[in-house]
């Protein structure tokens, strides 16, 4: 299983989750876990996804998600699980 960590941060607006999830579904990416919070008017979401069945290259998916984020006023970042774990271990 190829896991990716996706983070979405920005001002809360209608449709953020729908647009991100639609992009992932359209590209064969399965959401394994999702957590989202809104603090005052700021939206924060972290997703763990499985990209095994996606035909999209990892770099292309990350670039397209970043562009999608810009279009809806949020920052979207992707990291492979192994890199994320190495960066956040103590």
Enter the tokens of residue 62.
Answer: 């990350």
**Predicted confidence band at 1 (pLDDT cuts at 50, 70, 90)?**
confident
* DSSP reduced 3-state for 22: helix
The better pLDDT of the pair 87, 5 is held by 5
pLDDT at 2: 87
d(CA 18, CA 22): 6
* Structure confidence by residue, pLDDT tens digits, 46-60: 999 999 999 999 999
Mean pLDDT score of the chain, rounded to an integer? 92
| Over residues 1-29, mean pLDDT | 96
Enter the tokens of residue 1.
Answer: 């299983």
């Amino acid at each position: 299983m190829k896991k990716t960590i996706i983070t979405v941060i920005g001002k809360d607006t209608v449709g953020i989750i729908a647009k991100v999830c639609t992009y992932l579904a359209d590209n064969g990416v399965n959401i394994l876990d999702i957590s989202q919070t809104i603090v005052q008017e700021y939206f924060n979401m972290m997703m763990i996804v499985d990209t095994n069945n996606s035909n999209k290259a990892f770099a292309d998916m990350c670039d397209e998600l970043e562009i999608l984020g810009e279009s809806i006023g949020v920052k979207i970042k992707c990291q492979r699980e192994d890199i994320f774990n190495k960066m956040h271990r103590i």
